[in-house]
Amino acid sequence: MLGYPGLHAVWAYRVHHRLWLGGHRLAARLLSQWTRAATGIEIHPGAVIGRRLFIDHGMGVVIGETARVGDDVMMYHDVTLGGRSLSKVRRHPTVGDGVTLGAGARVLGPVTIGAGARIGANAVVVRDVPAGAIVVGVPGQVRPLPADPATPTATRVPTDDLADPAIWI
């Protein structure tokens, strides 16, 4: 646990977020900037982060002020949950539970990423993503999932990437 900057950044965010909610916004921002310098991960204290966020190889991760991140989210290095305007409205993404964000992914604007979705490395997402979808490319496109052989008319949500090489990103 001592060698994971992603874990340190999330722990520090929990403190910064409490300060932010308590009205100590300057202290929260200054401490979050110190954490950014120490870990290479910038999480705005106003963002709302769920349980068990794991940031793997976190250098360059940015999570904006109005972002919402669900439970059990996996984020790789250089991911941005950014805004596309400076207006004082919700301008950052909402990421559902169980989402995986690949290295270098950019999710921009007030979009919603559905639960269980997978965003591929270096994808740029500017539109909503349905639950369980796989998104790749610039701009991000939803990739069709292979049909389940047991029910050929249904689209299945993959549960194990390693078990089915046809759905590897």
Query: Active-site residues: which are they?
Result: 77
Task: Give the list of residues 6+ apart from residue 42 with CB closer than 8 angstroms, or none.
Answer: 32, 36, 61, 62, 63
The residue behind tokens 């994808």 is 123
Q: Which residues contact 93 (CB under 8 A, 6 or more apart)?
A: 67, 68, 81, 107, 108, 109, 110, 111, 112, 113, 125
Burial of 79 (0-12, 13-18, 19+ CB in 10 A): buried
How many residues would you count in the chain?
169
CA distance 15 to 40: 17
d(CA 94, CA 38): 26
